[in-house]
């Protein structure tokens, strides 16, 4: 879809403008390009420096290269706690997003295809809940989870990640648009049970929607800082966002931590960037779906 | 006779309803509930129960038995926490600060995104792909990491920006007074412009070309077409995006929390409502008051969302 309109946009857009207009357009774009890239460039450069160079040399250019030492220091700090954080982030994001996608698709399918009592009211509640930012509930959630002794376990973050009203909304949209009633009817006549129809017919038809929900969830969970901050106490359960924050706090006491913070930040970007690059086909449309929120 | 004609009418009515019920299946109806059940249970556990529990907590207060000594115990005090919050100047100042700052920052951010989207609409396709990818880099970077990068760029000891300024003989501070808001706003704007640019770009591309081909044939300049034809046609999405950004901004937390580490004097622990709640709960240990504050913030956010929903729905229809 987007590639078609993009191709169409090219000849119309590039046809007429004067040379001065092109120069102005390009230079404005370049200014914002530099603005967007400069901080990341700084991070890249800073990750190659040792403690003294970090403060004594110009921040946007290299001095002697200590990248390997810095990475080494990041990995070995506190018995490899950083690796553990990355692993936790991968675990929370993958399991959290997978669980939430399945629950959302099932609920969306149920809402779209079955006329049960209270369906309209339930859907209204879901739309309403999806308008509210999840951070709002973090503290009330903490109170409940602390009461039942779930805080500081993986479940304290996973269970809230599983429940995503916006995912259910998307699931219903996808079920409405991609699962034909006739097909379900035909499967029923063939004697398939409802669970079987959902698993082998509906889920397959909704797979594109499922990937989009998974991806939006994955990105949100990877970036989440708030919920883990409330729920998790022990360093070994942190996701990488929270781990980096704990290093920033320690850096207040000792400046040596700063090289760790910088190199760790650089390393933490990589998994999400790889993930988004791999799924870029989906997240273009996913972003737009997400924006409808 | 008339009493006899009535029953048939009901009878003709009910088969229709029965067939529509049979389509989804009578047993299907309860199976539909089964499909939504995992979500329903989860929703009760992670939305309804926490709110109910937070509400019951908020009706209590921690009181020390004896004269300030001895163990504390939690006693029921009715709505006294809420009464205290309504009289709590710092809480509402934080709320107002976050809203006003958020509104200003979102206007700037969306303005830049709109400018970039319009610029991209006017350059060659190959360049578009390149610029779009580069401008989206901030979106790929987790908010915590991008805040960290700016934290260093703002820090008095490591900042290359201050380094250059120093050599040029200029002295300035990223924090204090208005600068605090500019610096914080810059972080949020940096994080958001690429993403919003993509949104706006998409709605620009969805506009029918006839809309501005005519103006172009009449010899209108590109910027004129952009301003008088393209922009008025996408104000809907701009307003919508702006509103939802504002709802999100009201929960502002991580960015000011991080920047506090280089500017503790400029950014207090009650800078935003969420920071205040966090501080109240985990530093002061006053869970009951923090629970009440959470609920008040939720209600304010809900009201904001409701008003926006109403306004946009009216606009759409």
Q: How far apart are CA A276 and CA A32, in angstroms?
A: 22
Give the structural domain span for B63. Answer: 15-80
Asked if residue B140 and residue B46 are part of one domain, the reply reads no
Beta-carbon contacts of residue A228 (< 8 Å; ≥ 6 apart) = A157, A238, A239, A241, A242
pLDDT of residue A22: 81
The verdict on a CB contact (< 8 Å) between A25 and B122 is: yes
In the listed set B59, B80, B101, which residue is the last one of a domain according to the structure? B80
State phi, psi for A141 to the nearest 5 degrees: -60, -40
pLDDT for residue A53 is more than 70: yes
What value does the mean pLDDT take over residues A82-89? 96
B171 vs B260: which has the higher pLDDT? B260
pLDDT in tens, A100-134: 999 999 999 999 999 888 899 999 999 889 888 88
Q: Does A152 map to a domain?
A: yes
Beta-carbon contacts of residue B178 (< 8 Å; ≥ 6 apart) = none
Surface of B (1-60) touching A: CB under 8 A: 20-21, 23-25, 28-36, 38-40, 42-43, 45-47, 49-51, 53-54, 57
Q: Does B7 map to a domain?
A: no
Local confidence band at B57 (pLDDT 50, 70, 90 cut-offs): very high
What value does the mean pLDDT take over residues A87-100? 97
B292 vs A277: which has the higher pLDDT? B292
Q: Does A2 map to a domain?
A: no
B218 vs B196: which has the higher pLDDT? B196
Q: How far apart are CA A212 and CA A271, in angstroms?
A: 18
State phi, psi for A98 to the nearest 5 degrees: -65, -45
Bridge partner list, B74 = B62
Residue whose pair of structure tokens reads 């506009």 in the numeric block = B207
In the listed set B56, B80, B104, which residue is the last one of a domain according to the structure? B80
Local confidence band at B67 (pLDDT 50, 70, 90 cut-offs): low
pLDDT for residue A2 is more than 60: no
In angstroms, what separates the C-alpha of A79 from chain B's closest C-alpha?
23
Asked if residue A203 and residue A137 are part of one domain, the reply reads yes
pLDDT for residue A277 is more than 60: yes
Q: Does B10 map to a domain?
A: no
Q: Does A200 map to a domain?
A: yes
pLDDT of residue B28: 58
In this structure, what CATH number is given to the domain that contains residue B154? Answer: 1.10.3720.10
Bridge partner list, A177 = none
pLDDT of residue B96: 96
Bridge partner list, B76 = B60
Local confidence band at A169 (pLDDT 50, 70, 90 cut-offs): very high
B72-76 and B60-64 beta bridge pairing: antiparallel
Bridge partner list, B61 = B75
The verdict on a CB contact (< 8 Å) between A136 and B294 is: yes
Local confidence band at A282 (pLDDT 50, 70, 90 cut-offs): confident
Local confidence band at A86 (pLDDT 50, 70, 90 cut-offs): very high
pLDDT of residue A267: 94
Q: How far apart are CA B157 and CA B172, in angstroms?
A: 13
pLDDT of residue B278: 95
Local confidence band at B5 (pLDDT 50, 70, 90 cut-offs): very low
Number of domains observed in the structure of chain A: 2
The verdict on a CB contact (< 8 Å) between A265 and B148 is: yes
Asked if residue A58 and residue A109 are part of one domain, the reply reads no
pLDDT of residue A180: 92
pLDDT of residue B315: 58
Asked if residue A45 and residue A169 are part of one domain, the reply reads no
pLDDT for residue B220 is more than 90: no
pLDDT of residue A247: 93
pLDDT of residue B193: 94
In the listed set A31, A66, A101, which residue is the last one of a domain according to the structure? A66
Would you call B302 exposed, middle or buried from its count of C-beta atoms within 10 A (0-12, 13-18, 19+)? middle
The verdict on a CB contact (< 8 Å) between B116 and A29 is: yes
In chain A, pLDDT over 70 holds for what percent of residues?
90
Q: Does B215 map to a domain?
A: yes
Q: What is the number of CB-based contacts under 8 A between chain A and chain B?
A: 271
pLDDT of residue A17: 63
What value does the mean pLDDT take over residues B252-274? 92
pLDDT of residue B241: 87
pLDDT of residue A8: 39
Would you call B140 exposed, middle or buried from its count of C-beta atoms within 10 A (0-12, 13-18, 19+)? buried
For residue B98 the two structure tokens come to: 């976050």
Local confidence band at B11 (pLDDT 50, 70, 90 cut-offs): very low
Beta-carbon contacts of residue A63 (< 8 Å; ≥ 6 apart) = A49, A53, A57
Please, are residues A214 and A97 in contact by the beta-carbon 8 Å criterion?
yes
In angstroms, what separates the C-alpha of A10 from chain B's closest C-alpha?
5
Provide DSSP, A80-130: THHHHHHHHHHHHHHHHHHHHHHHHHHHHHHHHH---TTHHHHHHHHHHHH
pLDDT of residue B18: 39
* Mean pLDDT of all residues belonging to chain B: 85
The verdict on a CB contact (< 8 Å) between B123 and A26 is: yes
End-to-end CA distance of chain B: 47
pLDDT of residue B27: 52
In this structure, what CATH number is given to the domain that contains residue A172? Answer: 1.10.3720.10
Q: Give contacts of B208 with chain A, Cβ < 8 Å.
A: none
Beta-carbon contacts of residue B267 (< 8 Å; ≥ 6 apart) = B175, B180, B184, B256, B259, B260
pLDDT for residue A285 is more than 80: no
Nearest CA among A275, A269, A284, A262 for reference residue A69? A262
Q: How far apart are CA A68 and CA A80, in angstroms?
A: 15
Nearest CA among B283, B12, B275, B115 for reference residue A35? B115
Number of domains observed in the structure of chain B: 2
pLDDT for residue B21 is more than 50: no
Give the structural domain span for A216. Answer: 77-291
Asked if residue B138 and residue B27 are part of one domain, the reply reads no
Asked if residue B109 and residue B75 are part of one domain, the reply reads no
In chain A, pLDDT over 90 holds for what percent of residues?
58
A120 vs B171: which has the higher pLDDT? A120
Q: Does A94 map to a domain?
A: yes
Greatest mean pLDDT range, A86-90, B140-144, B152-156:
A86-90
Beta-carbon contacts of residue B25 (< 8 Å; ≥ 6 apart) = A114, A188, B31
**Looking at A3-7, A26-30, A38-42, A165-169, which range is the least confident one?**
A3-7
């Amino acid at each position: 879809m987007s590639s078609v309109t993009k191709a169409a946009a090219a000849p119309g857009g590039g046809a007429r403008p004067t040379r001065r207009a092109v120069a102005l357009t390009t230079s404005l774009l370049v200014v914002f390009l530099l603005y967007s890239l400069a901080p990341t460039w700084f991070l890249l450069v800073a990750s190659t420096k040792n403690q003294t160079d970090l403060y004594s040399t110009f921040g946007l250019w290299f001095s002697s290269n200590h990248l390997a030492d810095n990475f080494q220091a990041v990995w070995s700090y506190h018995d490899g706690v950083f690796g553990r954080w990355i692993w936790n982030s991968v675990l929370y994001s993958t399991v959290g997003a997978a669980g939430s996608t399945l629950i959302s698709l099932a609920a969306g399918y149920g809402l779209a295809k079955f006329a049960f009592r209270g369906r309209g009211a339930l859907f209204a509640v879901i739309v309403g809940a999806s308008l509210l930012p999840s951070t709002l509930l973090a503290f009330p959630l903490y109170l409940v989870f602390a009461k039942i002794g779930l805080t500081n376990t993986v479940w304290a973050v996973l269970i809230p990640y599983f429940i995503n009203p916006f995912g259910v909304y998307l699931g219903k949209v996808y079920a409405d648009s991609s699962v034909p009633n006739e097909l379900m009817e035909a499967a029923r006549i063939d004697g398939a049970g409802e669970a079987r129809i959902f698993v082998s017919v509906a889920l397959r038809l909704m797979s594109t929607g499922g990937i989009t929900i998974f991806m939006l969830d994955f990105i949100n969970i990877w970036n989440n800082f708030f919920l883990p901050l409330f729920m998790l106490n022990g360093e070994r359960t942190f996701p990488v966002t929270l781990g980096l924050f704990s290093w920033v706090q320690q850096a207040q006491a000792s400046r040596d931590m700063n090289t760790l913070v910088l190199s760790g930040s650089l390393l933490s970007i990589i998994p999400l960037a790889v993930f988004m690059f791999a799924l870029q086909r989906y997240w273009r449309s996913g972003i737009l779906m997400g924006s409808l929120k | 006779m008339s009493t006899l004609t009535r029953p048939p009418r009901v009878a003709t009515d009910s088969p229709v309803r029965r067939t529509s019920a049979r389509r989804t299946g009578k047993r299907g109806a309860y199976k539909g509930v089964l499909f939504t059940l995992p979500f329903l249970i989860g929703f009760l556990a992670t939305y309804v129960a926490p709110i109910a529990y937070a509400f019951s907590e908020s009706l209590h207060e921690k009181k020390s038995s004896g004269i300030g000594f001895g163990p504390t115990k939690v006693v029921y005090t009715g709505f006294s926490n809420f009464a205290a919050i309504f009289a709590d100047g710092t809480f509402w100042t934080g709320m107002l600060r976050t809203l006003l700052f958020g509104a200003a920052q979102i206007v700037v951010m969306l303005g830049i995104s709109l400018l970039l989207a319009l610029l991209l609409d006017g350059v060659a396709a190959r360049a578009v792909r390149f610029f779009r990818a580069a401008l989206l880099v901030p979106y790929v970077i987790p908010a915590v990491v991008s805040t960290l990068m700016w934290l260093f760029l703002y820090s008095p000891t490591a900042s290359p920006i201050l380094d250059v300024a120093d050599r040029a003989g200029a002295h300035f501070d990223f924090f204090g007074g208005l600068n605090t808001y500019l610096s914080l706003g810059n972080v949020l704007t940096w994080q958001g412009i690429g993403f919003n640019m993509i949104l706006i770009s998409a709605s620009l591309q969805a506009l029918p070309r006839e809309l501005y081909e005519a103006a172009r044939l009449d010899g209108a300049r590109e910027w004129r077409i952009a301003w008088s034809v393209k922009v008025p046609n996408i104000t809907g999405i701009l307003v919508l995006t702006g509103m939802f950004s504002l709802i999100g901004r009201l929960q502002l937390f991580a960015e000011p929390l991080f920047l506090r580490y280089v500017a503790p004097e400029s950014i207090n622990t009650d800078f935003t409502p969420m920071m205040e709640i966090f501080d109240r709960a985990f530093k002061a240990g006053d869970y009951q008051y923090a629970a009440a504050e959470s609920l008040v913030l939720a209600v304010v956010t809900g009201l904001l969302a409701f008003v926006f929903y109403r306004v946009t729905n009216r606009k759409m229809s």
